């Protein structure tokens, strides 16, 4: 019987290895923006969509998703899909809300692929190497824009990395995943790869002069120092040295731009954000269920642009801007309920990874992955959450990637330690015998 089980396990692993290779191809195509910038025929044949749904179909037929809906992340994302579809009924522009359904479903498919296929240490390491390759490619393709004081031009990369702020946000999320290659019993090649990838991510963050990404990176550094570092004093000195080196080597305007954070009252960009954030609050008051998915810019331009001297955005095309915040955009488009779901998802990801790390640390002989991995993943979630205050919108790939990796970690730990005990107050099954 044990031999039969081992043979079955080997067959199952081989059957999913091909699927995982397809998943890595999907990561490379999407994060490098190959269909957008290098191989346009991939866009014409909808390569990413076809590949993602083909992988999902094979998984459903041959592997199954098992306990998928037992996880809060799955339930929250399912609610967002339903919420997005229902918002067509009350959206300011119904067409925009209808068009928003597809990206939400596509990204949720990516979430399912992630939690199903990134299910062992070798595959986590392969994902880290994939992001090293992504960072090398996008930095090489954007060298002419990095370090520019004008901060103009479209960045080469995924569709969610189109401007400097979003580009730097993506590099912030990739950084902890790449650092996985530097912890544990690693070869010199893995450590060098992790160091190279991390350095490239720092170049991407600094080179764009993104203040939101700088704050996200600072939050990740503090989390690492106080939650993950074993030698806190040494780590604090090392982090201080890294920050000092960045400030010395970075372009002169980088320090000036960071200094402008404290002078937000004089900064038009900061004031424009505050203006749109205030509009998001008014949208949630005027429309308790929000103005509809992907309707923030349209609703803002129609109804919420101040017609006074206090308007820091202007008219014309400047009227139709996003909130530049995952939280305020979600508040405006989905109301307080949607914002609560988003915050619940982010906090749940952090809590789950902290709990997984604790379980792995308590049972190191059974640990299927390095106990450092869930800590680094929690670090990435925190970086995404802090950067999201100033950047992006809801249907960004990062959120679905991090949620999928979090659920994958939970399932890995449950496979060796057993499912978590039932919560207090839950009644016994009628089939369970009393002692």
Please count the residues of the chain. Answer: 435
Residue range 351-399, pLDDT digits in tens: 999 999 999 888 877 778 899 999 999 999 999 999 999 887 666 889 9
Q: What is the band of 13 on the pLDDT scale with cuts at 50, 70, 90?
A: low
Q: Where are the extended beta strands (E) located within 270-365?
A: none
Closest CA to 319 of 332, 300, 333: 300
Residue range 98-156, pLDDT digits in tens: 999 999 999 999 999 999 999 899 999 999 999 999 999 999 999 988 988 777 778 99
What is the percent of the chain where pLDDT is above 90?
63
Task: Look at residue 316 in the predicted model and tell me its pLDDT.
Answer: 47
DSSP state of 250: S
Closest CA to 51 of 77, 14, 88, 25: 25
Spell out a b/e string for 53-89, using b for 16 or more CB atoms within 10 Å of the CB, else e: eebbeebeeeeeeeebeebbbbebbeebeebbbebbe
Residue range 221-231, pLDDT digits in tens: 999 999 999 99
Task: Look at residue 338 in the predicted model and tell me its pLDDT.
Answer: 96
pTM, entire model: 0.90
Sorted by sequence, the CB contacts under 8 Å of residue 265 that are 6+ apart come out as: 271
Lowest-confidence segment of 183-197, 270-284, 301-315, 327-341 by average pLDDT: 301-315
The token duo for 217 is 């990176």
Helix intervals (H) in 186-262: 188-207, 211-223, 232-249, 252-259
Task: Look at residue 308 in the predicted model and tell me its pLDDT.
Answer: 59
Instruction: Write down the domain spans for the chain.
Output: 69-414
C-alpha dihedral sign at 158, 95, 109, 340: positive
């Amino acid at each position: 019987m044990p031999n039969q089980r081992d043979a079955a396990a080997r067959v199952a692993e081989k059957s999913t290895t091909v699927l995982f290779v397809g998943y890595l191809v999907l990561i490379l195509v999407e994060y490098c923006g190959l269909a957008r910038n290098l191989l346009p025929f991939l866009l014409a044949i909808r390569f990413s969509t076809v590949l993602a749904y083909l992988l999902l179909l094979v998984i459903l037929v041959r592997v199954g998703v098992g306990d998928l809906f037992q996880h809060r992340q799955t339930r929250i994302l399912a609610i967002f899909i339903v919420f997005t579809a229902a918002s067509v009924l009350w959206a300011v522009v119904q067409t925009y809300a209808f068009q928003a359904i597809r990206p939400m479903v596509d990204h949720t498919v990516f979430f399912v692929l992630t939690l199903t296929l990134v299910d062992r240490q070798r595959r986590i390491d392969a994902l880290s190497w994939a992001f090293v390759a992504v960072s090398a490619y996008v930095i090489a393709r954007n060298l002419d824009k990095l370090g520019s004081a004008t901060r103009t031009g479209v960045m080469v990369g995924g569709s969610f990395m189109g401007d400097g702020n979003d580009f730097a946000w993506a590099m912030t999320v990739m950084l902890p995943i790449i650092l996985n290659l530097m912890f544990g019993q690693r070869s010199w090649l893995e450590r060098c790869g992790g160091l190279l990838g991390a350095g490239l991510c720092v170049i991407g963050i600094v080179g764009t002069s993104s203040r939101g990404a700088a704050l996200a990176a600072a939050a990740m550094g503090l989390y690492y120092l106080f939650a993950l570092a074993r030698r806190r004093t040494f780590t604090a000195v090392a982090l201080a040295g890294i920050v000092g080196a960045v400030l010395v080597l970075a372009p002169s305007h980088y320090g000036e731009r960071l200094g402008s954070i404290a002078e937000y009252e004089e900064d038009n960009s900061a004031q424009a954000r505050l203006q749109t954030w205030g509009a998001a609050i008014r949208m949630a008051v005027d429309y308790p269920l929000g103005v509809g998915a992907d309707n923030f810019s349209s609703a803002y331009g129609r109804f919420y642009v101040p017609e006074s001297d206090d308007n820091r955005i202007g008219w014309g095309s400047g009227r139709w801007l996003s909130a530049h915040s995952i939280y305020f955009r979600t508040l405006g488009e989905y109301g307080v309920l949607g914002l609560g779901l988003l915050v619940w998802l982010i906090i749940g990801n952090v809590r789950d990874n902290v709990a997984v790390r604790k379980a792995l640390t308590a049972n190191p002989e059974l640990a299927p992955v390095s106990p450092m991995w869930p800590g680094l993943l929690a670090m990435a979630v925190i970086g995404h959450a802090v950067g999201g205050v100033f950047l992006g919108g809801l249907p960004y790939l990062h959120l679905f990637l991090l949620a999928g990796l979090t659920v994958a970690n939970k399932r890995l730990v449950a496979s060796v330690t057993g499912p978590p005990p039932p919560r207090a107050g839950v009644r016994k099954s009628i089939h369970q015998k009393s002692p």
